[in-house]
Amino acid sequence: MRNNQPVTNAEYLIPDEMILVSRTDLRGTIIYCNKAFCEASGFSEAELLGQPHNIVRHPDMPQRTFADLWEKVAEKKVWHGVLKNRRKNGDYYWVDANISPYFEDGQHAGYLSLRYQASREQIAKAAKHYGSILQGKLLPLFTNKPDKDYVARLQQRLAEKIVAQENYLELHEQEQRVASGYLSKLITLNKLRDASVQFHLKPAANFSGDLIAIARTPDNRLHLLLADSTGHGLSAALAGMPMIHPFYSMTSKGFNIQAIAREMNRKVWEVLPVSHFVAAILVSIDTVSQMVEVWSGGCPPPVILDGRGECVYRFKPRHLAMGILSPDQFDASVEYYSYEDDRYSLLMYSDGVTDLKNADGEQFGLQRLLESAQEVNAEQRWQNILHAIADHADNSAGLNHDDIAIMSAQFKYHGLKPPRKESSPQPVHAIELGTSVWQFALTLDIEQIRKLDVVPLLLDIVQQIERDRERGGEIFMILSELFNNALDHGLLKLDSGLKHHEDGMEKYYEERASRLAGLKTGRIQLFMEKITAPTQKAVLRIRMKDSGKGFDYQAFAARSATPGQFHGRGILLLQSVCRSVHFLGNGSEVEIEFDLPEEAQSNKSSRSPGALIN
């Protein structure tokens, strides 16, 4: 007989609502145990599974009791009695035990044990009986038969459990409804509408651990997010929530996806438990510069499809999922892809798509996905993809336990209003006679330039002052072109011609990052002011100056960008949207004037003329 030692005199009281459940094979080896059994015994699930059930036998239990137990259950009968068990730490606990044969497919496969709280009366009788046996007294065997009220008590206990379970399920369903409504508002499902984007989400449970978000920056760059959280259901859905606010708020302010990725990773790192992380793809599509940027971590990398639906490029799996690396270790670098044909599109998906199994257990795979996309008509292509996924999963219930998320984005231009084409800009002196409503000046040294995402900051300042977002996209584009020109060409002396070579954009930005990291000194100065003319026409004047050596802007003015060229278009774009663009001095300083909407004039009286904000 197994003698488990040591023991103490401390009793662990089984709560009234607790039911200890375990299952053994025919030899008494534990093959299942519930959490209540683990809690009562003090052993973990891993410590119990694979062990003989007598791992919890107490030395105060007579061997004759277990001989009687095994005799009954071997005959496929039910055994009932009160048992004293030993906890892992030596304490003891009493249970009212029912042990019965367990059958699988009609075959005797083992034994099922259900244990409840024993009454103090049951415990007193059992302790006296077992003590007599251990003292060697020839008493009759403890009958282990239920008393005449036992069945009634068991029925009452079962009824109470059923009522408690129904109440729990009702509360659970109510919480699920509330959580579903809350999550729907939080992830702003009503905002997932864009003329260029189609998407499909299918959760494996009530809640999806896959997340999709779509938004545009002030200058109309399309930002996409596809996230796949650890696990499934509500816990997985909640894991993706820290990413929502940074995505929408930072996109609306014009931040690039590198900055957004860094903030998302910081949120996930700080909020989620160590065992949870979020695989994600962040995409930025700029249909003006015909540039795609991708940050991919832990998800299958997206693919570029041409006008026929053929795969022409697959992005590389570069990074780990968000939440694995600390903010200091996180790599926010992106991959670039330049395109010339606006019939191209991007296809991104979670691993639930490619891992999807059919009735034969075959995975859908990337090859089937790409084959289903081979269609000239974009709408028909999307329907073909969805039909292929649905057909593959048909009659495969029970084989697939992962959420599905897939998204397609067309590169066709859905931009801002076409640039204004004014044949003859208004004379500059007409504005100089006006009144300065507000002014803003900013000087950045090299350390601040490295740390700050300057353009969203500047746009936010303008919009906070003006309380008007009608021309926000154009102002963002102007600030972006001015600042990037000052940094890239004024301070870093980069050659835009790099962008036109194969893998040029990626090499350009790698060189940009390298030169910025190695730059010892440098400065960019900005001056902005709003001016109103006597005619009540409002103009935003921006002057940007860098500490570089400048360039021959007169020679540049004699040239123009060629079709398909990925460089040299910034200044031409400025000239198309601004009322005037002037380079000053050696070319390291540029001044532009931009017409503001007349509707913004209603706020001018609340500001002091000539106020300088520093």
Contacts of 35 (CB under 8 A, 6+ apart): 45
Return the residue matching tokens 């106020």.
Answer: 611
How far, in Å, CA of 125 to CA of 231, rounded?
A: 49
How far, in Å, CA of 197 to CA of 92, rounded?
A: 63
Q: Give residue 601's pLDDT.
A: 43
**How confident is residue 611, by pLDDT bands cut at 50, 70 and 90?**
very low
- Residues of CATH 3.30.565.10 domain(s) within the chain? 428-613
Mean pLDDT of the chain: 82
CATH 3.30.565.10: does it fit domain 428-613?
yes
Give the residue among 319, 301, 394 at the shortest CA–CA distance from 356.
394
Lowest-pLDDT range of 77-86, 116-125, 571-580? 571-580
How far, in Å, CA of 229 to CA of 322, rounded?
A: 9
Torsion sign, CA atoms 303, 305, 309, 312:
negative
The architecture of the domain spanning 20-146 is 2-Layer Sandwich (3.30)
Give the residue among 213, 248, 207, 245 at the shortest CA–CA distance from 227.
213
Residue 282 pLDDT > 90: yes
302-327 residue pLDDT tens: 999 999 999 999 999 889 999 999 99
How far, in Å, CA of 447 to CA of 521, rounded?
A: 9
Backbone angles phi, psi at 314, to 5 degrees: -125, 125
- Residues of CATH 3.30.450.20 domain(s) within the chain? 20-146
Residue 22 near residue 53, CB atoms below 8 Å: yes
| Distance, CA of 64 to chain centre | 59
444-492 residue pLDDT tens: 999 988 888 888 888 888 877 776 666 777 888 888 889 988 998 889 9
- Residues of CATH 3.60.40.10 domain(s) within the chain? 188-410
Q: 188-410: what fold?
A: Phosphatase 2c; domain 1 (3.60.40)
DSSP assigned state of 29: B
